[in-house]
Amino acid sequence: MCNMGMRWNLVFSFGLLLMMIGCDSRYPSGNDPKKVLTQYISESFSVKKPEDRNILLNYMIGSVKTRLSAWSDDQFREAFLDAKREFLKLSFREIKNVSPAEVQITYELVYLDKGQSREGKSYRAKVTNRKLCQMVLSQGKWYIEDVRNIKELLEFDNELSLP
């Protein structure tokens, strides 16, 4: 009887541990392409230092991984650290299964860009990007193989518009 209770506790503890590992957003879970893309986007908005590039690379494969790896620390810093971006919304528009190991996801990413122009003036703009993400299944996990911009909309705060 006592042995059965100890087994149950061990099984429960092991299951809880697996759930906690599976919920850790620092590493792609791999089994759902939408979830992997969502995790990547979340990580990209929470980059704090140049070394965080390695976290982003965990979600990538192929040429997109090679391109990000080749960026200098200055390029990475400008794109991910210096950019003052605030995540607002992610929505999926279409998920197309190209093959059992390849998926195309069309999604829309909305964020607030709080930056400075080349003239040094501060601005705020709501940015809406529609993107096409190519994902591939490799060794049981989904990875981002390529991302292309389809459409971008910028809505500047306090922008004067003439007819």
106-148: pLDDT as tens digits? 999 999 998 766 777 778 899 999 999 999 999 999 999 999 9
124 three-state secondary structure: strand
CA 25 to CA 101: how far, in whole Å? 23
**Which sign does the torsion angle of CA 77, 81, 85, 91 carry?**
positive
- Strands ordered across the beta sheet of 141-156: 85-99, 102-116, 122-138, 141-156
| Residue extents of the structural domains in the chain | 28-156
* pLDDT of 8 strictly over 50: no
**Which sign does the torsion angle of CA 24, 29, 34, 40 carry?**
positive
- One-letter amino acid at 79 equals A
For 78-91, what is the mean pLDDT? 90
Q: Whole-model pTM?
A: 0.75
Task: Write out the H or E segment, with its range, that includes residue 89.
Answer: strand 85-99
Q: What is the fold, at CATH topology level, of the domain defined by 28-156?
A: Nuclear Transport Factor 2; Chain: A, (3.10.450)
For 43-63, what is the mean pLDDT? 94
27 three-state secondary structure: coil
**Which sign does the torsion angle of CA 30, 32, 33, 34 carry?**
negative
- The answer to whether 158 and 121 are in contact (CB under 8 A) is no
- The DSSP output letter for 82 is I
* pLDDT of 95 strictly over 90: yes
